Amino acid sequence: MMPGILKIEGLSHRYSSAWAIRDINIEIDQYGAIGLLGANGAGKSTTMNIICGVLNQTAGNVYIHGMDIRKEPELAKREIGFLPQEPPLYTDLTIDEYLTYCAQLRLMPKEKIKNAVSEVKERCGIAHFSTRLIRNLSGGYRQRVGIAQSIIHKPRLVVMDEPANGLDPNQLIEVRKLIKEIAQDHVVLISSHILSEIHLMCKQVIMIDAGRIVFSDSMSAFNDYIQPHSLVMRVEEPPAMPELLAVPGVSKVEFLTDRQIRVYFENEEVAERLVAASVQNKWRLREITLDKGLLDDVFKQLSTKS
């Protein structure tokens, strides 16, 4: 029987006298996108740093494809790709130079590096910028380069910390699409405090609150806790209410201010549809986020049940 891709047993860690995480247990043995959801300070970053071998845990074990991250760190880390919240980019290098360097850091055989760089550039949609300095790329393309370095060595597990951070709505759509494609042949563990991002990309959710897992199940099971869905959008040229209600999946609309609108929805693709409608109808969308109060309600419900 093949070992699971990621197995975490009784993972706990404390800084001084304060416990950051307690008794975390996770087992993943199939490819796909898994959401690690929690408010800031919940323990997500500590968990990710231990998984990636950056931090030694106080107690518990982490296995990557059957290898203990502490006992066999070099072998285990060959199966891990990591995209931090701030991509580790060297902006004075071209994309080709940077990805070649990353492949060397991963100890890839020299004869395989050139093909690996070409393949990952095509997959991430950055081949046409091969000789451009990274400093001259937009935020969306920098994020693509960051994703490329995390998968260049074809790891089984890819860990991404807030991959949608700092992207505009159009860039978000493209990066989400890319992450979904990567999840077809990798386990992609996505950390975020934004419920809408996890909802749009992941098939499974692990929620951490105050250092403990309070929910671990499929997205369909998680949906029971987040009905009705709502998000808040801010636009410069607000549409009429009938125009918003005509967007597929929108069930209800509330104008919070002249330019800020709460939209209740039934379909997980509604955010992309609202962005597309804004571009088509020139609403000049400036921001779109899941209603913060809703996320707090979900944490409260699940923490009470745990």
Q: Is pLDDT of 56 > 70?
A: yes
Which tens digits make up the pLDDT trace of 126-144? 999 999 999 999 989 999 9
Q: What pLDDT is attached to residue 1?
A: 47
Tokens of residue 94, six digits: 């071209």
Q: Cα separation of 101 and 112, whole Å?
A: 13
Percent of the chain whose predicted confidence (pLDDT) is above 90? 65
Between 95-105 and 139-151, two packed helices, what is the crossing angle to 10 degrees? 30
Mean pLDDT of the chain: 90
Between 110-124 and 139-151, two packed helices, what is the crossing angle to 10 degrees? 140
Per the CB < 8 A criterion, the answer to whether 134 and 145 are in contact is: yes
- The full set of domain ranges for the chain reads 6-224, 227-305
Instruction: Summarize the confidence of residues 97-125 as an average pLDDT.
Output: 96
Q: What pLDDT is attached to residue 115?
A: 97
Which tens digits make up the pLDDT trace of 145-163? 999 999 999 999 999 998 8
Per the CB < 8 A criterion, the answer to whether 200 and 271 are in contact is: yes
Domain 6-224 sits in CATH at 3.40.50.300
Q: Is pLDDT of 178 > 50?
A: yes
Domains 6-224 and 227-305 share a fold: no
Instruction: Summarize the confidence of residues 82-111 as an average pLDDT.
Output: 95
Domain 227-305 sits in CATH at 3.30.70.100
Q: What pLDDT is attached to residue 98?
A: 98
